[in-house]
Amino acid sequence: MTKKLWGTRFSKSPSPLTEKFTSSISFDQRLAKYDILGSIAHVQMLGRQKIISAKDAKIIIKGLDSLLSELNHGKFKFDPKAEDIHSNIQQALFKKVGRVADKLHTARSRNDQIVLDVKMYLKDEINILIKLIAELQKTILRFAKDNQKIIIPGYTHLQVAQCVLLAHHLLAYIEGLERDKQRLFEAEKRLDRLPLGACALAGTGLAIDREFVRRRLGFRHLTENSIDTVSDRDYILEVLADLSILAVHLSRMAEDLILWSTKEFNFIDIDYTFCTGSSIMPHKKNPDVLELIRASVGKIQADFSSVLILMKGLPLSYNRDLQLDKPPLFDAIDTIKDILEVFIPLFKNITIKKETISAKLKDESLFSVDIVEYLIKKGVSYREAHDIVGRMVRDTLDKGKKISDLSETQLKAYSLKLGPDVKEILNAGKSVNLKKSFGSTNPRQVAQQLNKWMKKLK
Ligand code: ARG
């Protein structure tokens, strides 16, 4: 039988059901690398501080080094009987170096150790995520740049609204993704505090040097309250919240692309390599990847809720409940990485359907606000201009006629301020060029934004 880290005071061994029920090794084994690296730094400190002898420290470090190399070569065997990742490493070390292994856990508890492992894991993962998000941003930017001149109908309430540059719409995605990167970056900064030394909850009477361990493990600061250190899971909640928001962005992008690829919109073509067919309807080419992106977002939000619910009302400090923060955390991170990894090549392979898009731009309702602004510039009040254009729309567009077909006399009947020159602004190119405000869809402004992002994302 595996020796428990806490076995001595127990007069009976746990039932096999308890062992199975409490075990976390099936999911926390992914923390093995961090557990070993943390242990190496910890034992170096114990040796330096003469809490254990330099000789013992050396033997333990050598043992841990060789476990690390086994792990890196896929040779480390996890023992499902050894409760969790900490016990697994401890037991493997015992097998390697014998009794001296028992000194490793001096001035440490699994309560501060698990926080260390997860924080180290998150620091790495956040870095990977930020890189993936930047990669997606660059892909979108390339796509925007390649189609810089394309104008599309913009929508509000999913009803035709006004002309916008496709690049402007795409840059909106890039803005949201930038905030996602910033949020993760800030979450990383906040969690960057070494927890080791909190021990179970009260700290230790042994002369440890937390500062040394902090430097060795590359943490920016120390946690400053041992009870908070083992109780706090804000850093997990924060990352899950950030991933939930990122996921919302990705789902909205996926939904836009799904809509745009329908026959009804027909703005884009999603490459065959990212679609699947129907077993019954031979004509189908379905955007399954995008649909699954949209669906996966629900999983991530459920992961966030699951940890929120786990934490609610939990007494300080450590409780075993906290073990169950990991499956949802890992699931959210794996899922978001899968989404980002498939979204990047999918985006690289979208083709724009220029002809069908430009046919949609013939819809003169796209220019109603431009006519209103034309009138305002001629001194008509906003309210009156809105009424005039409203009447024109009712009499023409609603009846399948065109504003551009109105004669000069007919135009004057709506307002004496309407000259024949109003017909010149009834086109998409004019429409976007009329926009002037900072941040608008004006092609010059969009070009500036494209350049700004080119530099920023380089
Ligand atoms: N496996 C636990 C976790 O994931 C850490 C171990 C703490 N266990 C304990 N009995 N104090 O949170």
Domain CATH code at residue 287:
1.20.200.10
At residue 1, does pLDDT exceed 70? no
pLDDT score of 410 more than 90: yes
| Co-location of 125 and 58 in the same domain | no
Q: Are residues 396 and 316 in the same domain?
A: no
Report, as an integer, the average pLDDT of 370-396: 96
Ligand 1 atom 2: the closest Cα is on which residue?
A: 323
Q: Is 206 inside a domain boundary?
A: no
The dihedrals phi and psi of 105, each to the nearest 5 degrees, come to -85, 10
Which run of H or E residues covers position 244?
A: helix 234-260
Mean pLDDT of all residues in 73-92:
95
The reply to whether 185 and 128 lie within a common domain is yes
- Same domain membership, residue 290 and residue 148: yes
Comparing 282 with 63, the larger pLDDT belongs to 63
358 catalytic? Reply is no
Q: Which of 359, 380, 401 is the last residue of a domain?
A: 359
Structure tokens at 432: 């976007």
**Residue 93: predicted pLDDT:** 98
Average pLDDT, the chain: 95
Helix, strand, coil percent values for the chain (each to nearest 5) = 65, 5, 30
Q: What is d(CA 66, CA 3) in angstroms, rounded to the nearest whole number?
A: 22
Q: Which of 11, 15, 26, 157 is catalytic?
A: 157
Rounded Cα distance, 451 and 433, in Å:
18
| The predicted structure's pLDDT at residue 389 | 96
Q: Are residues 149 and 277 in the same domain?
A: yes
Residue nearest to atom 10 of ligand 1 (CA): 320
64: CATH: 1.10.275.10
Supply the pLDDT for residue 2: 62
Question: Final residue of a domain: which of 43, 77, 106?
Answer: 106
Q: What is the pLDDT of residues 195-222, one digit of tens each?
A: 999 999 999 999 999 999 999 999 999 9
For residues 145 and 276, state if they share a domain: yes
Q: Are residues 345 and 412 in the same domain?
A: no
| 395 and 445 both lie in a single domain | yes
- Domain range for 73: 7-106
Q: Quote the ligand 1 centre to 61 CA distance (angstroms).
A: 23
Question: Residue 425 above 70 pLDDT?
Answer: yes
Residue 3, pLDDT > 70, answer no
Residues in the chain: 458
In a domain, 134, yes or no: yes
Q: Please tell me the total count of domains within the chain.
A: 3
pLDDT band of 282, cuts 50, 70, 90? confident
- For 9-56, the pLDDT digits (tens) are 777 888 889 999 999 999 999 999 999 999 999 999 999 999 999 999
- Looking at the fold, whether 263 and 371 belong to one and the same domain comes out as no
CA atoms within 13 A on the CB side of 314: 22
Percent of the chain topping pLDDT 90: 91
**Structural domain includes residue 209:** no
- Structural domain ending residue among the three candidates 52, 72, 106: 106
Q: Tens digit of pLDDT for each residue in 94-107?
A: 999 999 999 999 99
Helices 166-191/110-146 angle, 10° precision: 160
CA of 324 to the centre of ligand 1 (A): 10
